[in-house]
Structure 1
Amino acid sequence: MKKNVFYLLLLFLVFTACSREDLQNNPGNIEVAKKDPLTAKQINEKINEAIKTKGRFSWSESSDHFVWSAIFQGNKIASIGFGSSFDRSLTPDNRAIEEEILKVIERYEGKTEKTLLSSDQYLNQIDVVIEKQETVIALRKMKNIRYLEPADYRYFENEQKFGAKSSSSSSGCGFESTTLSTSDYTTVTPNAKAPWSFTKHNIINAWSYSTGAGITIGVIDSGVSPEQTLLGSSFNNGLSSGRTISKNGVYVDSVWPWSTGYDGSADKCGHGTSMASTMAAPRNNLGQPVGVAYNANLVTYRAASNVVLDGYHEQNGVKIAFTELGNNTSVKIISMSMGHIFSVGKIEDGVKYAYSKGKLIFCAGGTSTSFTNFVGVIFPAWMPETQAITGVKENTSNQRCDVCHSGAEIDFTYQMERASGNSIPVLSYYNAQTDYVGGSSVATASTAGIAALVWAKNPSWTRDQVLNKMRQSATYYPTPNSDYGYGNINVLQAVQ
């Protein structure tokens, strides 16, 4: 009898051991409660509900089924951040971890090829092809994975499909030219137009102390117009001399994630041209608007097609731009007037990487469209590594512009909306023409230019010293406003 009990016990142990091995290697043993993916409409509804009730949406706080559904509805492409750090150089075993992840994917997907779409050379981040919900469940249980997100889920595109009517300016694009009202600028020698906001922030007087010479600003946007020579061959013009502009393109213009080949540095939207003009348009005798730091250098990146970072190639382009600017030792300041209403892991890694290299980063706090006006400060402006900027009405520091966002994450404000409704004069997309640009976008670009003035006056300073001087010269120092940070900067005070 005892012998029979022993054999029964032995058989039980063998069966249990085999079952555990099967569970580890057989994808069919992962329990899947919901087999069908949510529709894109259902996904968007849940994202909107989370933002309205919690103030923010996060993939990391979402269920396995929800994350898989969004991956499934986004060309089956997922973005994975792994390791203890975002930085590959700080993770000696990064390749081994990456291989471990790929083996898990291959095991659960049941295939060994066409799994890896891309592997970042600087960041612990890869993009992969995932079809099965079991794969998502298995990956999210791995201790070495920091995040697993859809890499090509197009929230804004889906919102428009399902009836949310975007305003015409939602993309931030426009090629218009407008004759400037004489009340919206001051003529400064030799014959340049200084926007009205320069007087409000004491920028013209600050030029006696600093013009931004020797400082390089990195611009992540939609590129710069090849038609605007003052941001090209005539960047060194008039009182703006001895400086450089470098134009780069890291955007793949395709709806397919697996497409390759950048489409160049030329702006095909108009937004990036306006931002470059705001920061550093030359001061000359041509009767055109001048930039805040008219002697600063620019390194521009076409990283996206427009300001809404919706889709694989735009998010990937922004990530690449941040890492390349992080590695560019001549760049001290990075400005980006684009964003998303929820976090994107690979962009977050890119921002952290640039920040770790000592860059002072300015990001737009957000400009409303008809279907995002319930959102507070947008990503990545809410990150602690960035300075979030929003626009306010003329002669105020706590009345946001009609389309601008505000919130606890805002660090500085910039006056960019007049009672007349006019905003900031800039160079047009086309030569010898002008335009107006508004929102938190122009507020961010202007503040990046202000930082260049401060840093040029104190070239040996660190990022934190420059930032502290800007704070000390602003409206609400030393106690920030709950929704508008330190408020408007008195630039003359900041450079003295």
Structure 2
Amino acid sequence: MIRRILPLMVAGLLLSLTSCSENEQSFETISIAQEQRELLTPQEIKAKIDASIQNGMHFTWKAVTTQTVWSAIVHGNSLATVGFGTDANDFDRTKSNSSAAQQQALLERIAYYEQKEIKDILVNADPYLNLMDVRIEKQETVAALRKLGLVRYVEPADFRYFSVAEMKPGIGGVTTQSDSGCGFESATLATSDYTTVTPNAKVPWAFYSHNIPSAWSYATGRGITIGIVDTGLSPNQSLLGANFNNGASTGRTVQKFGVYVDSIWPWSTTTDGPNDQCGHGTSMASVATAPRNDRGLPVGVAYNANLITYRAASNVVLDGYHEQNGVKNAFTALANNANVKIISMSMGHIFSVSKIADGVKYAYSKGKLIFCAGGTSTSFTNFVGVIFPAWMPEAVAVTGVKEGTSNQKCDVCHSGSEIQFTIQMQRVASGNTIPVDSYYDNQSDYVGGSSVATATTAGIAALVWSKNPTWTRDQVLNKLRQSATYYPTRNSNYGYGNINALLAVQ
């Protein structure tokens, strides 16, 4: 018996050793040239990003060297996002039977090059998307991953461009001169900037420029749910809370959620709630859906639409791990909500963030009509064209123009070939922008930039969809185009131009 067992044991041992040898050989030795081993400074990385943008290109991490990607990862708390899949469009984890196996194989590979255990590497794995956040310290790991066909991208998850720049521009649009797009101010509205309609609501001047009040004879947004990804919703503005159904606005719902984690620690998972702590999100919700109220305050475009807001970031500049993660999570949540037809986001970044791109693609695959701000900046980033994610083909990019025009952008607005629509939001004589409900109850304010243009367009889309509830996203979008200034010939920097809401609902 012993003579029979011994050969089997030896054979098994040899097989085991052979398997181990083959497994080790599958992880090739990565050699980094000496001149590429130096860690680039944050300023050097920023310079590469700026150079790409100034040359008229959209910056993506795929376009730069492994040394640059690795350096940005290291300077961003050694956090990296790895997107995987069988091809560039394999982003939906729920549609693949091999996602778990692919993720495990990649984690084993990372552990091999990092010489760590998997539990010390994996930070977060998205439940809906084929991506995960991991800790990477070695350039060899980045190089090995970038060689794999299974890896769609590997990029820094917490490199803060604007922290390097030492000053943050307002990308989405501002109510004050704040560089983050935040502000809690209120303002007394000039009587020339609104018209009072029953039951006692103020209609912003810009609404008449787009024939929105006339469109209300056909549709008010009833039955359509708009999802707003922003900084949250004020708990102090009752017209966007307990009095969401006020005056001529009835039978609709408002919900607010929070997915932003306010922490310096990437592994933290506790959100700071749904309430707006910036003011920007409240302004966007107001211009899109504020009730046709009896309190003498501004009304929103789709004053009978339902509203869902997500506090996804602390301000409009998506410049950190938790901001980018929050936006990604907001998009997947809205994508999975069958009631949501329209998503509006007036935030962004000057370069691509692939985890957010995956979230946008996921929402688009669920039939959502997605509007994103084309960009609003101070002089510090006026060299930037249309920002991310507005430049994505899955998003509808919107920017702001001056009163009475369709091809003269506002003083701080971006323009470019990706823009599809424009909204008049800056008065020529006074420079005043669009009246909205303030962060605080019974107060008004002004808001401008491509932010307010985007939320206004989302509201107009809700009017069209409520008039035609059986339509698809593409039918609604095509109707918006047909009602705009330049249709069918698209302007090179301003798309189809200003939307005529009345024509869009007829």
With normalisation by structure 1, the TM-score equals 0.94
Who is 1:46 aligned against?
48
Counterpart check, 1:423 vs 2:433 = yes
Which letter does structure 1 place at the counterpart of 2:272?
D
Does the residue aligned with 1:415 lie in a helix, a strand or coil? strand
Q: Distance in 1 between matches of 2:335 and 2:232?
A: 18
* Matches of 1:137 and 1:283, distance apart in 2: 57
Deviation at 1:169, TM superposition (A): 2.9
Alignment pair present for 1:71 and 2:62: no
Equivalence for 1:13: none
SS for the counterpart of 1:371 is: helix
Separation (CA, whole Å) in 2 of partners of 1:467 and 1:165? 28
Task: Pick closer, same or farther for the CA change 1:381–1:29 going to 2, 3 Å.
Answer: closer
Rate the CA distance shift 1:214–1:164 in 2: closer, same or farther, 3 A. closer
Give the conservation status (yes or no) of the 8 Å contact 2:170–2:316.
no
Q: How does 1:442-453 map to 2 (within 5 A)?
A: 442-453=452-463
- Structure 2 SS opposite 1:81: strand
Cα contact 1:27–1:108 (8 A) shared by 2 = no
Letter in 1 for 2:497: G
Could you tell me which residue of structure 2 aligns to residue 97 of structure 1? 102
Q: Alpha-carbon deviation of 1:27?
A: 5.4
Give the AA of the match of 1:198: F
Q: 2:379 aligns with which of 370, 380, 383?
A: 370
SS of the equivalent of 1:233 reads coil
Cα offset, 1:35, TM superposition: 2.4
- Residue of structure 2 equivalent to 1:131: 137
| 1:257 Cα offset (Å) | 1.0
Residue pair 2:235, 2:241 contacting (<8 A) in 1 also: yes
1:58 matched to 2:23? The reply is no
Q: Deviations over 1:46-67 (max 9, x none)?
A: 1111111243211001111100
Query: Paired residue for 1:87?
Result: 92
**Structure 2: tracts of 5 or more residues without a match:** 1-19
Q: After superposition, where does 1:248-263 map in structure 2 within 5 Å?
A: 248-263=257-272
Conserved in 2, the CA contact under 8 Å of 1:303 and 1:321? yes
Question: Are the structure 2 counterparts of residues 316 and 155 from structure 1 closer, same or farther at C-alpha, using a change threshold of 3 Å?
Answer: same
The size of the alignment, in residue pairs, is: 478
Match of 2:178 in 1: 169
- CA drift of 1:32 comes to 5.5
Aligned-partner SS, 2:62: coil
Q: Which residue of 2 aligns with 1:485?
A: 495
| 1:349 Cα offset (Å) | 0.3
The reply on whether 1:381 has 2:390 as its aligned counterpart is: yes
Amino acid at match of 1:238: G
Name the counterpart of 2:412. 403
State whether residues 391 and 415 of structure 1, in contact with CA within 8 Å, keep that contact through their aligned partners in structure 2: yes
Aligned counterparts, 1:300-339, within 5 A: 300-339=309-348
1:435 maps to 445
Moved more, 86-95 or 147-156: 86-95
The alignment yields a C-alpha RMSD, in angstroms, of 1.9
* Cα distance in structure 1, aligned partners of 2:239 and 2:204: 17
Pair 482,294 (structure 1): closer, same or farther in 2 beyond 3 Å: same
Aligned counterparts of 1:27 and 1:114: Cα–Cα separation in 2:
22
CA distance in 1, matches of 2:72, 2:490: 38
How far is 1:370 from its partner?
2.7
Match of 2:482 among 472, 477, 488: 472
Q: Secondary structure at the match of 2:297?
A: coil
Confirm whether residue 457 of structure 1 aligns to residue 467 of structure 2: yes
Amino acid at match of 1:483: N
Please, which of 133, 149, 152 is the counterpart of residue 146 of structure 1? 152
In 2, distance between residues paired with 1:188 and 1:19?
A: 79
The match for 1:215 is: 224
User: CA separation in 2, counterparts of 1:183 and 1:121?
Assistant: 51
Deviations 1:288-321 (A, max 9, x none): 0000000000010000000000000000000000
Q: Which residue of 2 aligns with 1:233?
A: 242
CA distance in 1, matches of 2:123, 2:182: 30
Match of 2:105, SS state, is helix
Q: Percent identity?
A: 67
Counterpart contact for 2:30–2:143, Cα < 8 Å: no
* CA deviation vs aligned residue, 1:25-82 (integer Å, no higher than 9, x gap): 5757565542221111111111111111243211001111100000000000000110
Q: 1:30 to 1:400 in 2, by over 3 A?
A: closer
1:22 CA displacement:
7.0
Q: Which amino acid aligns with 1:57?
A: F
Query: 2: CA distance between counterparts of 1:260 and 1:414?
Result: 38
Gaps of 5+ in 1: 1-17
Shift of 1:21: 8.4
SS of the residue corresponding to residue 436 of structure 2 reads strand
- 2:298 matches 1:289: yes
- For residue 237 of structure 1, give the secondary structure of its aligned residue in structure 2: coil
Offset of residue 142 of structure 1: 1.1
Residues 152-197 of structure 1: CA distance to partner in whole angstroms, max 9, x if unpaired? 0000111117x99999433110000100000000111111000001
Q: Partner amino acid for 1:225?
A: S
| One-letter amino acid of the structure 2 residue matched with residue 227 of structure 1 | N
Q: Structure 1 pair 165/491, CA: closer, same or farther in 2 (3 Å)?
A: closer
The CA distance in 2 between the partners of 1:243 and 1:311, in whole Å, is 35
SS in 1 for 2:124: strand
Q: Which moved more, 1:19-28 or 1:243-252?
A: 19-28
Alignment of 1:112-123 (within 5 A): 112=117, 113-123=119-129
Query: How is 1:10-49 mapped onto 2 (pairs within 5 angstroms)?
Result: 25=27, 33-49=35-51
Q: Quote the Cα distance in structure 1 between the aligned partners of 2:419 and 2:27.
A: 49
CA contact (8 A) 1:70 1:150 kept: yes
Give 1:242's aligned amino acid.
G
The one-letter code matched in structure 2 to 1:52 is Q
